[in-house]
Amino acid sequence: MTQDDLLARAQAWLAEDPDQETRDELAALLDRNATDELAARFSGTLQFGTAGLRGELGAGPMRMNRSVVIRAAAGLAAYLKAKGQTGGLVVVGYDARYKSVDFARDTAAVMTAAGLRAALLPRPLPTPVLAYAIRHLGAVAGVEVTASHNPPRDNGYKVYLGDGSQIVPPADAEIAAEIGAIRSLNDVPRASEGWEVLGDEVLEAYLERTDAVLTPGSPRTARTVYTAMHGVGKEVLTAAFGRAGFPPPALVAEQAEPDPAFPTVAFPNPEEPGAMDLAFEAARAVDPDLVIANDPDADRCAVAVPDADVEGGWRMLRGDEVGALLAAHLVHKGATGVFAESIVSSSLLGRIAEAA
C-alpha cells in the first residue's frame, strides 16, 4: 500500500467513524502524519473466526472499535437472514471492559434495523449467562462483548448460534464473508430504539439450575476464598453460593468489583504468574478449604487447594484436573449424559466415561 493509499483509506474511515473518541484519535494521527502507526492500523482488518473478534481498542480496521463492531453485527445479521432466521431473536451480553456496553448497544441497533429482534442483558454479566440465555429464550444467536482474560486495552466479540455454543466451521467463514461484503459503514442501517433490555428473569432461571448438580442433603460447609479478578463474576457466584446453602465466600476485596483497568494484575488471568497473589494472601489469613478465581468475563474458573508441599501452601489445579474431578463427581452421582473434551483437554475424561 502506497502512502497516498494509506492516507486515503484512513481519511475514508475517519469520515464514517461514529465514535468521537476514535475520530479524535485518528485525526491526531493524520495531523502528525504518523505513517507507521497508520500502517499498523490500516494494513488489513481484524480477522473474524471461531473466536469471533479480539484486539486492541483504537481507531482503524486492525483495532476493536464501534466501526468494526457495527460491520461484524451487520455480517452476522446477513448470515442469519440468509439461513432463514428473519425475525429471530439475538441476545446480546457484555462484560465491564472499556467500550463493552457501547459495542453491545451498536449490535442491538444493527440487529433491530435488519428486522431481527434484539435483547440486551440488563448489565455486565458472566459469559455463561449469555450462553444459557440463548437456549432459555429460544434465540437464533447471541453475542458476548468481551476479551475474556486479555489485557485492559483489548476487547472482543464472541458469537454464538442457537445451540448456545460458540460458532464453528463453516459458520465462521460464512459470517466473515458477509462482513467482508460490506463496502461502507453508511450502508449499514442502525435503529435508534426498538430492542428489549431484559430484566433479571434470565439470571434467575440460570441460578435455579445451579442446584441441579448438588446431591440433596450433601454437606454444604466448604469455606472458600473467591476473586473475581476485577471482572463480573462476583454477583452470580455469591448468589449461587447463597442458594445452595454454602457459607458466603471470603472475597478478595481489591479484586471484587468490576474495573476495566485491572489495576492489581498485569494480565487478568488466574493462570498468569502473580495473578493469584492477593487470593493466596487472603487464603493464608482465612484458612479456607478452597480458593476459587474467575477471569473477567467469568467463563474460566480456576481452583487452588491446600498443599503443604508447595511454597505458600496452595497449589493451583490445572483445568484438566478440575474437569476430571467434576467428571468423577458426576459418575459417583450416577449421572448419565455426555462428557465433552477438546483438543486442549486431557484424555482422562474419556477414560472416566468408559470406566463408568
- Is the bond preceding 248 in cis, omega lying within 30 degrees of 0? no
Q: Is 248 left (phi over 0), alpha (psi -120 to 50) or beta?
A: beta
Asked whether 129 and 203 are in contact (CB, 8 A), the reply is yes
End-to-end distance of the chain based on CA atoms, in angstroms?
Answer: 60
| C-alpha gyration radius of the chain | 22
DSSP lists the bridge partners of residue 105 as none
Nearest to 230 by CA among 320, 295, 304: 295
Q: Give yes or no: 342 in active site.
A: no
Q: Across-strand partners of 90?
A: 118, 141
- Chain centroid to Cα 299, Å, comes to 7
Residue type, 15: A
The torsion angle over the Cα atoms of residues 80, 81, 82 and 83, rounded to 10 degrees, is 60
Burial of 256 per CB tally in 10 Å (0-12, 13-18, 19+): middle
Amino acid at 126: P
Residue 338 φ/ψ region, left for φ over 0, alpha for ψ in the -120 to 50 degree band, beta for the rest? beta
Active-site hit among 148, 165, 345, 346:
148
Q: Residue 128 corresponds to which cell in the numbers above? A: 455463561
Q: DSSP secondary structure string, 45-106?
A: -PPPBTTBEEEEBSSSTTSBSHHHHHHHHHHHHHHHHHTT-TT-EEEEEE-SSTTHHHHHHH
C-alpha closest to that of 323 among 353, 355, 290: 353
Task: Find the DSSP H helices in 115-251.
Answer: 127-137, 171-180, 201-208, 234-244
- As annotated, the active-site residues are 148
